[in-house]
Amino acid sequence: MDFFHGQESLTEIQWILRAVITFFFLLMATKIMGQRSIAQLGLLDFAMAITLGNIIAHPLSDEELGLKGSMITMSVLIILYMLGVFLSLKWIPFRHFIDPPPIPLVKNGQIVSANLRKARISVDFLLSELRKEKVEDIQKIALALWEPDGSISSFLYPQHQTPTRADLNIVPEPFSLLSVLIKEGKIDYHELNKSKFSVDWLKNNLTSTHNVEIKDVILATIDQNDNLQVFLYK
């Protein structure tokens, strides 16, 4: 465990062991902090990402620095992060500080220039984000908001929205999620066991219908009507 502490020099194996331990420690830290920490970078998440990266990088590049101090510091920061998330859920003023309310950028088809300056974004950036949402005319927008995570959400006037099945009085089919039975030439036994089919059925179906083996399939899915769809390597 000498590699764990600061030394004048480290061997190649000791450097490798430091990297391996740090990697798994970061994985556990992210798991503890939860999906929120990687799903989006809010104010609290961004501060944590920058701080943790800076702390753990030094002992990985400087043999005179031990891992113990960095890991203790990171553990304390993780606890503070979780406390901050808890407070943001329970204390509304703190939540507004960490995740401020969205800023209206477009109202009733007009750009709110004062809020553009408040959000520190340009008109070009606004237009670029709207194009990503397939909005080409600002006058069609009833409301566009600058969200705390840095994204823009827009809402069109009803007359410019795409009609839904309900608008056209079309009875929709029940929702169902495709089950993935094969991924990258390997059977997903977890999904297969949830279905009513067996491995033998799957193999026979591939052989008789598509004349292929499991190793030739990059993706195979099945829907609620037991229709098997197969995608082959090319």
Predicted pLDDT at 31: 61
Least confident of 71-75, 81-85, 137-141: 71-75
- CA 79 to CA 204: how far, in whole Å? 53
Q: Evaluate whether 115 touches 156 at the Cβ level (below 8 Å).
A: no
Token pair recorded at residue 184: 């990258």
Which tokens in the block code for residue 132?
A: 């990503």
- Whether 5 contacts 68, CB under 8 Å: yes
Could you tell me which of 71, 24, 73 has the C-alpha nearest to residue 16?
A: 24
Domains detected in the chain:
2-95 (no CATH), 103-160 (3.30.240.20), 179-232 (3.30.240.20)
Average pLDDT on 180-194 reads 89
pLDDT at site 9: 58
The pLDDT value recorded for residue 165 is 81
More confident residue, 129 or 16: 129
* Per-residue pLDDT tens over the stretch 9-50: 556 676 666 666 766 666 666 666 554 444 456 666 666 776
Closest CA to 78 of 26, 42, 39: 26
Neighbours of 134 (CB within 10 A): 9
> Would you say 99 and 43 are in contact if contact means Cβ atoms under 8 Å apart?
yes
Where do we find the tokens 């304390």? 76
Residue (of 20, 22, 12, 10) closest to 63 by Cα position: 10
